[in-house]
Amino acid sequence: MSLPVWLRPLVPPALRRWRRREAVKSALLEAVSSTQPRECPICGHRGLFTHFGRPPRIDAACTGCGSLERHRLFWLWFGGNPAQLPGPVLHFAPERVLERRLRPLLPDYRSADLFEAADLRIDIERTGLPDGAFGAIICNHVLEHVDDTLAMAELHRILAPGGRLVCSVPIVEGWGRTYEDASIRSREERALHFGRFDHVRWYGQDFRDRLRAAGFARIDEITAEGPAVITHALMPGEKVFVCHREAAPTGAPA
């Protein structure tokens, strides 16, 4: 409600600032409010989703299970089918919305994290785990935080021949090369340059070259596209990478 012109000079400046802030807040909330129902492939919720992130992404979060766009894209690929993730399965920095559902489906499921509670407290750059120990590894939005040359080689080493790494990262497909700069070290500068205070790069198309250099022979790309983007509120063009370690030659020891 706007004040009459004659009353405005009588309103204390602090109250005027508060009113302006509140007006901006409610305009922002209205701008990001959901209007169209969506469907969550993870929990089955059908209805309005809600915004998430800074800046807010409209309909990013399912109001049934809290899943974000990338979790729903992962689940559309996985489809609740254990054959997609041959065991034993290792899940780095597990997203709780996925872990809650994967653990009962996958008998040999292990979570891993260096900082949070998990089955294994390990560093992705040097896990100390035996060669070829896992049939599948899930690693979403981790590689942009770490020395990815070390981490990718380590993931390849602990995968069994024929095993698969399922991963996603922040990537700008319009960039040929990854943007990284080791001299950018402060939290503020990293947030400015790489999108978050603890990111050390923003990937470009050469993300695939890095995976190949680590030994992954085949990389399949699952892309959020077409009507599924609308139905399930996915981020257009977002990708899940399914990276295959070469199977052992017939007759050779695994």
- Which chain residues interact with Zn ion by CB under 5 A? 40, 42-43, 45, 62, 64-65, 67
For residues 39 and 233, what is the distance between their CA atoms, to the nearest angstrom? 8
Q: With helix as H, strand as E and coil as C, how does 227-249 read?
A: HHHHHCCCCCCCEEEEEECCCCC
Per the CB < 8 A criterion, the answer to whether 82 and 105 are in contact is yes
| Closest distance of CB 60 from Zn ion, Å | 12
Residue (42 or 167) nearer to Zn ion, CB: 42
Residue (140 or 178) nearer to Zn ion, CB: 140
For residues 97 and 14, what is the distance between their CA atoms, to the nearest angstrom? 43
Residue (199 or 232) nearer to Zn ion, CB: 232
Residue (75 or 202) nearer to Zn ion, CB: 75
| Closest distance of CB 233 from Zn ion, Å | 10
Residue (61 or 171) nearer to Zn ion, CB: 61
E strand map for 23-70: 38-39, 46-47, 50-52, 57-61
Percentages of the chain per state (helix, strand, coil), in multiples of 5:
35, 25, 45
Residue (49 or 109) nearer to Zn ion, CB: 49
Per the CB < 8 A criterion, the answer to whether 217 and 244 are in contact is yes
Gyration radius of the chain over CA positions: 22
H/E stretch holding 17: helix 13-32
| Closest distance of CB 230 from Zn ion, Å | 16
| Closest distance of CB 44 from Zn ion, Å | 7
